[in-house]
Amino acid sequence: MRYFLTFLCSIIPTAVMAEPPADPPTLKIGAVIAGNMVFNSGTPTPTFDVPAGAALGSLDGDGLPSDGGLTLTARQTKIGLSLFQRIDENTTASGVTEIDFFGFHENAGPGAVIQSTPRLRLAYGALKHGAFELRGGQDWSVVSPRTPTSAGHMSVVLHSFGGAIWNRLPQLTLRGQSAGDSSFGFALSAVRSHSGDAAAAITRFEGPEPGTSSQIPGGQARVFWKNANLEFGLAGHFATEKYTTLTGDISVPSWLGSADVFANFAPVAVAGQGYCGENINGLFSRAGVKRTVDTNDAVTDVEGLGACGGWLEVKVTVGPVSAVASGSGEFGDEDTYGANAAYQQWDAFGAVALRPWKPFEVSLEYLRTTTSYKGAATGINDSVSLNTRFFFDGAIAK
C-alpha cells in the first residue's frame, strides 16, 4: 500500500500539469465615428437626424410651422469592447459591450438639450461548446437577424415604424447550428417584455421596468437554413403585457410571425423580411394598443392592434463603391385604430457610398416617408443626408 500511495502521489502533479491551461483572454476595442448632416423637408419623427416617420400634417396642405430643418450631429458614433477566451478545444467564452451617444434624445426629449450622453446598445456574454451557444445580456432580438442598410440610421434602424422590426433586448438565448456548407440552425430566447405596466416618472433610480408586472418573460424563436449564398428563416414572438384599467389589471398578448431571406451573389445582394403581428410596438411597429376611456378619461379597456409589413433591399457593390435601394411598408386595419393614430406607413430609400480606404466611408442617402393617420392629414417627409464614417476595427461595423 505504501508503494502504491507513493506512486499515486508522484503521478497526480504530473497529470495536473499535463492539463493544458486555458488561453489568456483577448480584448479588442473598436469604434465607428459617425458624422451626419441631415436636411428634412417636413417634420420627421422621432428626431430630425434619424427620421423614422412623418408627423401628422407634415407637408400636407400648408404644412406645419416646423416643416423643414437642417442639422449636424455625431451622436450615432459607437464604441465597443469584445472579449474572447478559449477554455478548451471545443469551448469558448466571449463578451460584447457597445455604446452609442443617442442618450437624452430618444423620442425627441427632453427638449433644449444638445449635449448627448452615452446609451447602452449591447452587453452580453456567451459560452459556446461545439454547435451550441448560450448568450445572456442585452442583444439583438432573434426575430430580426438583419436590418436594412443605412449609414445614417445606426441608432434608429432604417424603416423603423414602416416595415422593419427590431430591438436590442435583455434576454437569455440558446443558439445552435449544424456543421457543413449547408446547415440548419435555431435561436430560442427568453426576453424582457417590451412594454405594459403603468409608466413611472424618471427618477435617479429607475422605476418599474416595462412589462415587469406580466411576471413571465416573452418568448422568441427563429429557425433557419443557409449555405454560402442563401439564407431563409422563420421567426416568432409571444409575450403578455399587463395594463391597469378602471376595473382591474388585464393582460394583453403580443405576438408576431415573420419570414426573412438573404441572398448574396456578388456583386449583388438581396435582403428582406415580412411579418404579421399584434401589439408589437416594442419591435418598432406602429401596432401597439388601443385604450378605451370613459368621460373622466379613466381607462376602461386595452386591446392590441394588428399590422402586417416588411422591407426589401437590393445592394450592389463594385470595388469601393456601393449602391442600395430599398422599400418598406406597414399597414394596419384603419377601423380598429383610434382617432389621429398612425395606422400605415410607406418608405422609399436610396443611397450611394464610397469607401476608398477601409477606415473611411462617405455616403449620400435619400429617404421618403409617408405616414397615414386615421381621420387626419397624412404626413410626408423627404430626408437627404450626407454621412461620414471612420471605422476602427471593422468587427463592430454592423
Summarised one tens digit per residue, pLDDT across range 308-327 is: 999 999 999 999 999 999 99
Assess if residue 7 is contained within a domain: no
CB burial of residue 110 (10 Å; 0-12, 13-18, 19+): exposed
Distance between CA 38 and CA 232 in Å, rounded?
A: 35
Distance between CA 286 and CA 29 in Å, rounded?
A: 36
Distance between CA 258 and CA 275 in Å, rounded?
A: 4
| Phi, psi dihedrals of residue 153, rounded to the nearest 5° | -130, 55
Assess if residue 313 is contained within a domain: yes
- pLDDT, tens digit, for every residue of 161-207? 999 999 999 999 999 999 989 999 999 999 998 888 765 555 556 66
DSSP H or E stretch at residue 100: strand 91-103
Instruction: For the chain, give the mean pLDDT.
Output: 88
Assess if residue 271 is contained within a domain: yes
Number of domain units in the chain: 1
**Average confidence (pLDDT) over 276-285:** 95
Assess if residue 20 is contained within a domain: no
Question: Is the bond preceding 110 in cis, omega lying within 30 degrees of 0?
Answer: yes
Range in 229-243, 354-368, 382-396 the model is least confident about: 382-396
Assess if residue 396 is contained within a domain: no
Which pLDDT value is given to residue 248?
86
Please name the residue ranges forming H helices in 278-347: none
Residue 163: half-sphere exposure toward Cβ, Cα within 13 Å = 25
Distance between CA 41 and CA 11 in Å, rounded?
A: 79
Assess if residue 15 is contained within a domain: no
Assess if residue 10 is contained within a domain: no
Q: Say what the pTM is.
A: 0.89
> What is the domain range of residue 214?
25-201+208-391
Which pLDDT value is given to residue 211?
78
CATH number of 98's domain:
2.40.160.10
pLDDT band with cut points at 50, 70 and 90 for residue 4: very low
Per the model's pLDDT, the better-predicted residue between 233 and 104 turns out to be 233
Distance between CA 56 and CA 348 in Å, rounded?
A: 19
Choose among 164, 161, 119: nearest CA to 141. 164
Assess if residue 148 is contained within a domain: yes
